[in-house]
Amino acid sequence: MTRKNEPVHPADGERLQKIIAAAGLASRRQVEVWIRDGRVTVNGRVVTQLGSRARIGTDTIRVDGRKLGSPEPPVSILLNKPRGYLSTCADPGKRPTVLDLVSGVKARLYPVGRLDFNSEGLLILTNDGELALRVTHPRNSCRKIYRVKVRGVPTTEALQRLRKGIVLDGKRTAPAGITIVHAENNTWLEVVLAEGRKNQIREMFKRVGFPVVKLKRIAIGPVGDRGLAPGAWRFLTAHEIRSLKGEAR
């Protein structure tokens, strides 16, 4: 008999987080949280172990009691997020989200990674769990490039601290690429990160005494689009998707 926390079908089937992400509900990382929280059942049994597997078409998988449907065809779009939108699927406070900017797409999309409410720039929305994992997981080192305006002119010492990494919330940030683009009363910089903690760039520059005035993401890995207007979106090309997944030839 399979106990509550034992993997289901350990020798066959697919991992639960991959199956659920492929159905378009959320990214694999978010699904892993659901599994740990006991929100997923397989054939009526709560499954909380991340190594658990199931068989599509044979096993009954439910999330929060709702039966999982067939996997959706993968859909991935690139959005130029304006300021004043949340990078979430819904907000209890009824603030606008990035999904409000996307119309005519039937697939259930979710944002990949973070851009805070007052930040702008490129954001991927997808139902492709594998793509989301490749873009967000630290081991894949998918670089994101930002244009950042800060108050004042940072010293060489301050920038060098950020390049090497500083401690935020008890953990050191990964080395960052930082280049001054233009400096006068305020300073524009190009910042390259291979990680994506919450409000990371704002917290980094705040820590060294130069608060961020404006922040815009201009590239995600090999994907950029300077001609995409704020609030506009387009489908990612097949080549862009392969490049993001590290499969480009």
Q: Is 116 a catalytic residue?
A: yes
Same fold for the domain at 76-138+223-244 and the one at 143-220?
yes
User: Which of 116, 128, 169, 225 does the annotation list as catalytic?
Assistant: 116
Per residue in 202-212, pLDDT (tens digit) is: 999 999 999 99
Is 76-138+223-244 assigned to CATH 3.30.70.580?
yes
Residues 101-117 pLDDT 10s? 999 998 889 999 889 99
84 contacts 35 by C-beta, under 8 angstroms:
no
pLDDT band at 248 (very low <50, low <70, confident <90, very high): low
- Whole-model pTM: value is 0.77
CA distance 226 to 73: 28
Average pLDDT in the chain: 89
> 21 versus 225: which is more confidently predicted?
225
User: Can you give the pLDDT at residue 8?
Assistant: 54
In this predicted structure, the answer to whether residue 227 has a pLDDT above a threshold of 80 is yes
Q: How far apart are CA 247 and CA 249, in angstroms?
A: 7
According to CATH, what is the number of the domain 143-220?
3.30.70.1560
Task: Please tell me the CATH code under which domain 14-67 is placed.
Answer: 3.10.290.10
pLDDT value for 11? 59
Domains of the chain, residue spans: 14-67, 76-138+223-244, 143-220
CA end-to-end distance (rounded Å), the chain: 47
- pLDDT value at residue 179: 97
Residues 6+ apart with CB under 8 A from 152: 185, 186, 187, 209, 210
Structure token digits, residue 235: 């489908």
